[in-house]
Chains A and B, each alone.
Chain A
Amino acid sequence: MPLVALVDDDSIFQFTATRLIESAKLANEILHFENGNEALLYLEKNASNSDRLPDFLFLDINMPIVDGWMFLEDFEKLKTKLAKDFPIYMVSSSIDPRDMNRAREFTEVKDFVIKPVTIERFTELLSAN
Chain B
Amino acid sequence: MNHSNAQNPQKESEASQAYSLLQAAVNSTADGLLVVDTEGKISIYNNRFLTIFGFSEEEAHDKPDEVLLKKAITKVINPEKFIARVMELYATPEAESNDYMELTNGTILHRYSKPQILEGRVVGRVWSFRDITEQKRAEASLLKSEQLYRTLTDNMLEFINLVDAQGKIIYLSPSTRQILGDNYLEHIGTSIFSLVHPEDLEGAIGKFNQLIVEKKPVKAEVRYQKSSGGYMWLETNGNPIVDEDGSVTTIVLASREITDRKLSEEKILEQNSKLSAIADALKNKNEQLEEFTQIVSHNLRSPVSNILSLLEFYEKSDDEAEKKSFIKMLRESSSKMLSHLHELNEVLKIKQNKDIERQWIYFEEALENVKHQLSILIANTQANIVADFKSAPKILYPNIYLESILMNLLSNALKYRHPDKTPEIHFITIERGAGIEMMVKDNGLGINLKKYGHHIFKLRKTFHNHPESRGIGLFMVKNQIEALGGEINIFSEENNGTTFTVKFGE
> Which residues on A are within 8 Å of B, measured CB to CB?
10, 12-13, 15-16, 19-20, 34-35, 61-62, 64-65, 67, 70, 92-96, 99, 115-117
Contact = CB atoms under 8 A, between A and B. Distances in A.
A70 B455 CA distance: 11
A16 B298 contact: no
Chain B, interface size category, equals 20 to 34
B313 A96 contact: no
Contacts of A13: 302, 305-306, 309
A12 B329 contact: yes
Nearest to A96: B297
B333 A12 contact: yes
Contacts of A62: 298-299, 302, 460
Interface of B: 293-294, 297-299, 301-306, 308-310, 313, 329, 332-333, 451, 455, 460-465, 469, 471
Contacts of A19: 313
Contacts of A116: 305-306, 308-309
A16 B297 contact: no
B471 A64 contact: yes
A60 to B, nearest CB: 9
Contacts of A35: 465
Per DSSP, chain B at the interface is helix
A15 B312 CA distance: 13
Contacts, number: 69
Contacts of A117: 309
B462 A64 contact: yes
A12 B462 contact: no
B306 A10 contact: yes
A92 B488 CA distance: 30
Given A12-B303, A95-B301, 9 more contacts: A12-B306, A12-B329, A16-B306, A20-B309, A34-B465, A61-B298, A65-B465, A94-B301, A116-B305
A115 B301 CA distance: 8
A12 B310 contact: yes
Contact of B465 (A64, A95, A99): A64
A92 B298 contact: yes
Which 3 pairs across A and B sit closest by C-beta, in order of nearness?
A: A93-B301, A93-B302, A115-B305
A96 B465 CA distance: 27
17 contacts: A12-B309, A12-B310, A12-B332, A12-B333, A13-B302, A13-B306, A15-B329, A20-B309, A64-B465, A65-B463, A65-B465, A67-B461, A92-B298, A93-B297, A93-B301, A94-B297, A94-B301
A16 B333 CA distance: 12
A70 B329 contact: no
B298 A94 contact: yes
B506 to A, nearest CB: 35
Contacts of B293: 96
Contacts of B301: 93-95, 115
B460 A16 contact: no
Nearest to A99: B297
A61 B461 CA distance: 12
A46 B466 CA distance: 26
Contact of B309 (A16, A64, A95, A99): A16
Nearest to B322: A19
